[in-house]
Amino acid sequence: MKILVFSDTHGDFTRMQKAIMSHSDAEVVIHCGDGERDVEYMRRSFPNKAFFNVCGNCDWGSSLEPTLEIILEGKRIFATHGHLYGAKMGLNRLIYAAKEKNADILLYGHTHISMNEYDDGMYIINPGSCHGYGATYCLLDITEKGVLASIVKA
């Protein structure tokens, strides 16, 4: 299963749309916050894809939850924006929260800095910001053989 992971699009729905069109075989899109309106637009534009998103610190007035727990292809995913866990000051609280949920994959944003690591049995992924110069997102592929995550320049 191919999954596109975005964060911090901040109204740059054009880059997000281009990325989704470039990966037409991706079935799921997960947005890690600061782009609620962008996700709403994409839902209408791509009704054949499943969209999941969480509230970021710039999604003012949002009714979205700050965290998401979902199981896809047998992998438990914990997604959040990261601001409530102090992601800009370090990842300890965020990683601990994901481990409490028995997550196989941690997805977060907020820092605008992409990250793709595997540590102590958990994939830790920040797709970066899909906005402006240096925009990035993540292509996550979950198969029977394992997980492959790639940071892609938008």
Give 10-residue mean pLDDT values along the chain (154 residues): 98 95 97 97 97 97 97 98 98 98 98 97 98 96 96 96
Rounded to whole angstroms, the Cα distance separating 123 from 103 reads: 9
Structure tokens at 143: 């198969």
**Which helix H or strand E contains 136, and what residues bound it?**
strand 136-143
Q: Which of 94, 96, 95, 107 is nearest to 147 (CA)?
A: 107
Residues β-bridged to residue 32: none
Query: Strand 67-72 vs strand 75-80: parallel, antiparallel, or unpaired?
Result: antiparallel
Structure tokens at 33: 């916050």
Q: For 29-74, how does the pLDDT look when each residue is reduced to its tens digit (9 = 90+)?
A: 999 999 999 999 999 999 999 999 999 999 999 999 999 999 999 9
HSE-CB for 88 with a 13 A CA cutoff: 6
Beta bridge partners of 70: 77
pTM exceeds 0.85, yes or no: yes
d(CA 114, CA 129): 7
Report which residue type is found at 43.
R
- Cα(121)–Cα(103) distance, rounded to whole angstroms? 9
The identity of residue 29, as a single letter, is: V
